Structure 1
């Protein structure tokens, strides 16, 4: 039986279970040190496999469609941070200062890759452009996100250390493994393509590890004593507001700039998403360990909300496109005029 489209997927349920586990059985002392080491290794392996999986053809595919990619990148790395800052008077009464820091961090993150491409395909959008745009966003985010965090988040009460130090850590822990995977792709790329389940296991497993370690530290610091149910409800409302604003602005902008319907769909889905797979490892590198739990909580909620909303939109737009095609094909062809 197919899962109802508005219910959480298995990975989201696993995330919730991991948070519950960390809330009742947090790791401490030597166990926390061991988990940190395992988590760092898993993150390095994750980005290594992503580098080996991503073909160079996919990286350069559609690169000539620069207007579309520019709109997506501006939405991801300019529109979202501006929304986080401009909406501060609306957002801050709903959440704690620590959660607002997480919201600003969420706004600096790159777009997703897998779901952006999947939803674009479902909605009959420009899939090659989505592959190129989402991949470029993910790769550029390794450099842009730390710089944005240093500007946007540090000016609003968060201590994240030197931006150069952060970029150095990101480069060492994320970019170096990614480049190593790219360099070894000719040797192991075909094997990776045949065993994508391994990448999915490492992808999801590394995120669950980071979430467990982050929330263990947050629980040890008393996170659940500072976040009430009303605050969580406010955080959900904030995420819905951010996503709705991003969807509306990207749709309006893409239409006004004269993009085709397929390109509009690509811009909407690639420009309104934020990557959980990139965001959680980056949060672990950028923020102090005791702050990571509160920082990633907005991202975890946004992840599920964006999946549910975009799934509904993609299915509706895809069905509309499919229904329109037979109608066009069924139109009678006018007979040639007689001389």
Structure 2
């Protein structure tokens, strides 16, 4: 229970809200914006370097053979999610307006999370090695696949979204190269990284917060909060809740219908229903510019927090059910 509460009410969420407030009241402008832009680029490179250094090849090999599960997770992440975003356009576009709807589509094409998918799978009693493999592969594949999906789904005017080739090259330079460098250096620095995951995790979070501040500052200067009202934010929150509920139900139903074990079904639910803020924020900075950047990020920031809160409760439910199966004579703790 304490572990779930730490995932549900974490300091990062509170600090993220503070960063949004600071970017709203004191956005970076002029030379300050140039300074933060350079600093953000360096922070993104460090973030993905550390992700690469943390990735254990042994864990990947342990889960890589479960190809049916991985195909289903990839299908949920890169096919089911985008299809839902497209099919809901007649409802979402009038409710949210074009900028926020584009943000919802961007959310739908992002890769899944790594850390939280693994943490919730472990807490719920799922197949952890398979979760490590699926989540890690999703993050890597998304570096190439997400820009292609953005170009295919977001039929935007020239200049608002860069070309797919430019996106892939830029994202590869900023994300993939540092990631590969970190992973190749894991034999040298892996022990240090594993021993210091606590404070290195804070560096990861700091990098994300820095990117959020820089991105939101640019959008605030371009009039973000003049175009996104409080009522529209409430509608966006409700839409994110609805999207998560639908995806959680679909992933659970697909796992059961295709005959996966209980442990694999848990992995499918938690690895196939999530979207990565750690990858999405840097990608948004590359793919969008100016006034489009803020609306592209808002759905992701809301969905990210909602998925953590809901999945923390869901993981506890799975854990209680597993305990009841192992100990049928005991009354489950409510």
Interval of TM-score (by shorter of Structure 1 and Structure 2): over 0.9
C-alpha separation between the residues in 2 aligned to 1:33 and 1:5?
Answer: 36
> For 2:64, what is the secondary structure of its paired residue?
coil
- Describe how 1:202-221 pairs up with structure 2 within 5 A: 202-221=203-222
The answer on whether the counterparts of 1:170 and 1:285 sit within 8 Å (CA) in structure 2 is yes
C-alpha separation between the residues in 1 aligned to 2:226 and 2:147?
Answer: 29
> Which of these two proteins has the greater Rg computed from alpha carbons?
1
Q: 1:157 to 1:236 in 2, by over 3 A?
A: farther
Alignment match, 1:292: 293
> For 2:168, what is the secondary structure of its paired residue?
helix
C-alpha separation between the residues in 2 aligned to 1:59 and 1:169?
Answer: 27
Q: 1:38 to 1:147 in 2, by over 3 A?
A: same
State the Cα distance separating 1:6 from its structure 2 match: 9.3
Alignment match, 2:114: 113
C-alpha separation between the residues in 2 aligned to 1:71 and 1:48?
Answer: 28
1:190 equivalent in alignment to 2:191: yes
State the Cα distance separating 1:198 from its structure 2 match: 3.5
Q: Deviations over 1:222-246 (max 9, x none)?
A: 1111111110011011101111111
The answer on whether the counterparts of 1:274 and 1:303 sit within 8 Å (CA) in structure 2 is yes
C-alpha separation between the residues in 2 aligned to 1:286 and 1:61?
Answer: 34
Q: 1:132 to 1:297 in 2, by over 3 A?
A: same
C-alpha separation between the residues in 1 aligned to 2:329 and 2:175?
Answer: 48
- List runs of 5+ in structure 2 lacking aligned partners: none
- List runs of 5+ in structure 1 lacking aligned partners: 330-339
Point out the more displaced range, 309-318 or 152-161.
Answer: 152-161
C-alpha separation between the residues in 1 aligned to 2:253 and 2:202?
Answer: 38
> For 1:327, what is the secondary structure of its paired residue?
coil
Alignment match, 2:224: 223
Q: Return the TM-score normalized by structure 1.
A: 0.93
1:304 equivalent in alignment to 2:305: yes
The answer on whether the counterparts of 2:23 and 2:220 sit within 8 Å (CA) in structure 1 is yes
Point out the more displaced range, 84-93 or 73-82.
Answer: 84-93
State the Cα distance separating 1:7 from its structure 2 match: 5.7
Q: 1:138 to 1:242 in 2, by over 3 A?
A: same
The answer on whether the counterparts of 2:40 and 2:210 sit within 8 Å (CA) in structure 1 is yes
C-alpha separation between the residues in 2 aligned to 1:32 and 1:58?
Answer: 40
The answer on whether the counterparts of 2:121 and 2:131 sit within 8 Å (CA) in structure 1 is yes
User: What's the C-alpha RMSD, in Å, of the aligned pairs?
Assistant: 2.0
Alignment match, 1:104: 105
State the Cα distance separating 1:116 from its structure 2 match: 0.6
C-alpha separation between the residues in 1 aligned to 2:300 and 2:52?
Answer: 23
C-alpha separation between the residues in 2 aligned to 1:139 and 1:307?
Answer: 22
> For 1:215, what is the secondary structure of its paired residue?
helix
Number of aligned pairs? 330
C-alpha separation between the residues in 2 aligned to 1:110 and 1:60?
Answer: 20
Alignment match, 1:148: 149
The answer on whether the counterparts of 2:222 and 2:290 sit within 8 Å (CA) in structure 1 is no
C-alpha separation between the residues in 2 aligned to 1:226 and 1:97?
Answer: 11
